[in-house]
Amino acid sequence: MSDEVRLTVRYEDAGDGWITAQVAEVPGAISQGKTREEARANVIDALALVLTPDEELAGEPGDGNSESLTLKIGS
């Protein structure tokens, strides 16, 4: 099993000087920016939010039958 996860970021001209970025494999991981770099940074933030467990967002402890998994996003 590989410890590496590869995802695809798709960029699209959204008009009015905006660029939309979307992680193709993760529905809901979408954002935008005025530059491609800004759109990329924003979609990485969106991805982190989409992948954050609900109990972590709510501040609730896990049930003991789970563990944390950390994914590192590289350039």
Q: Which residues pair with 20 in a beta bridge?
A: 12, 32
Confidence of residue 53 (pLDDT cuts 50, 70, 90): confident
What is the per-residue pLDDT across 25-34, written as a single tens digit (0 to 9) for each?
999 999 999 9
- Give residues with Cβ within 8 angstroms of 17, minimum separation 6: 34
Whole-angstrom distance, CA of residue 40 vs CA of residue 12: 12
pLDDT for the residue 2 = 57
Confidence of residue 4 (pLDDT cuts 50, 70, 90): confident
pLDDT for the residue 51 = 85
Average pLDDT over residues 4-13: 92
Whole-angstrom distance, CA of residue 27 vs CA of residue 43: 12
